[in-house]
Structure 1
Amino acid sequence: MAHNKVEQVVEELARPILEELNYELVDIEYKKEGGSWFLRFYLDKPGGITLDDCQIFSERISELLDQVDPIPHRYYLEVSSPGLDRPLKRDEDFKRYKGHRVHVKLYKSVNGEKNYYGELVGLENGNIVIQDGECTYSFPRENVAMVRLVVNI
Structure 2
Amino acid sequence: MANITDKITNLIAPVLEDMGYELVGVEYIASGKHSTLRIFIDTEHGIGIEDCEKASHQLSAIFDVEDPIASQYNLEVSSPGIERPLFNISHYQRFLGNDIRLRMVRPINGQRKFKGAIGSVSELNNSIELVTELGPVTLDIDMIEKANLVADF
Residue in structure 2 matched with residue 104 of structure 1 by the alignment? 102
CA distance in 2, matches of 1:132, 1:79: 32
CA distance in 2, matches of 1:6, 1:108: 24
Determine which structure has more spread, i.e. the larger CA radius of gyration: 1
Structure 1 residues 90 and 135, CA gap change in structure 2 (3 angstroms): same
Q: Quick check: 1:17–1:57 contact (8 Å CA) kept in 2?
A: no
Residue in structure 2 matched with residue 140 of structure 1 by the alignment? 140
- 27, 42, 53: which one aligns with 1:29: 27
Give the aligned residue type for 2:44: P
Question: Could you say what secondary structure the match of 2:30 adopts?
Answer: strand
- TM-score between both structures, scaled by the size of structure 2: 0.82
How many residues are paired up? 150
1:32 to partner: Cα distance: 2.6
Which range moves more in the overlay, 74-83 or 139-148? 139-148
1:130 to partner: Cα distance: 1.9
1:26 to partner: Cα distance: 1.8
Alpha-carbon RMSD: 2.4
Structure 1 residues 116 and 76, CA gap change in structure 2 (3 angstroms): closer
Give the share of equivalent positions with the same residue, in percent.
29
CA distance in 1, matches of 2:30, 2:9: 18
CA distance in 2, matches of 1:5, 1:127: 21
Structure 1 residues 146 and 29, CA gap change in structure 2 (3 angstroms): closer
Residue in structure 2 matched with residue 20 of structure 1 by the alignment? 18
Q: Quick check: 1:43–1:49 contact (8 Å CA) kept in 2?
A: yes
- For structure 2, the residue ranges without an aligned partner over 5 or more in a row are none
CA distance in 2, matches of 1:118, 1:139: 12
1:49-128 alignment, distance < 5 Å: 49-106=47-104, 107-110=106-109, 112-124=110-122, 125-128=125-128
